[in-house]
A = this chain, B = another copy of it.
């Protein structure tokens, strides 16, 4: 019972995101959330209007982290190739720091208004990164023989796959910086020596 008083909007959100990622957003009921949080449904309604508000908050947290990267000084000044490598590195770091939230964002498929909004914002983010790639090609720093849309997709394919296998709790896990280095080296310099 003491547990009930310890909930804040943030801790409730953390529990909800875990359940959404396990069961899928569609497959999660308020009853599931109530059981996972160990508090009554009415206590949850004290914090939020319903599960869609929890989804919106969780997705916002992921998106805020990702879009903030685009505003960092190193993402806005200098040659596009440097900005692109900086953005790639930082996106990997945000993905790992906010792993459950970004995982949820990546899995959203779009039946509700909130899900469609999430997908729209994600596309917007992808376009911003594609623009950086385009600029880097124009500045002569990226190879011109790989289609920009394809390169953007392969880059995100690599980055987003991290959400599927990275498990921070494993003691053998690489650090966030090591994974980010690996992605930047692979995507931009290639694995060949």
Contact = CB atoms under 8 A, between A and B. Distances in A.
Given A146-B186, A193-B143, A162 B151 contact: no
Interface residues of A, number: 39
B192 A188 contact: yes
A130 to B, nearest CB: 13
Given A153-B161, A161-B161, 12 more contacts: A142-B191, A143-B191, A143-B193, A144-B193, A146-B191, A150-B182, A153-B165, A154-B186, A155-B186, A187-B190, A188-B190, A188-B191
Interface of A: 81, 133, 140-147, 150-151, 153-162, 164-165, 174, 178-179, 181-183, 185-193
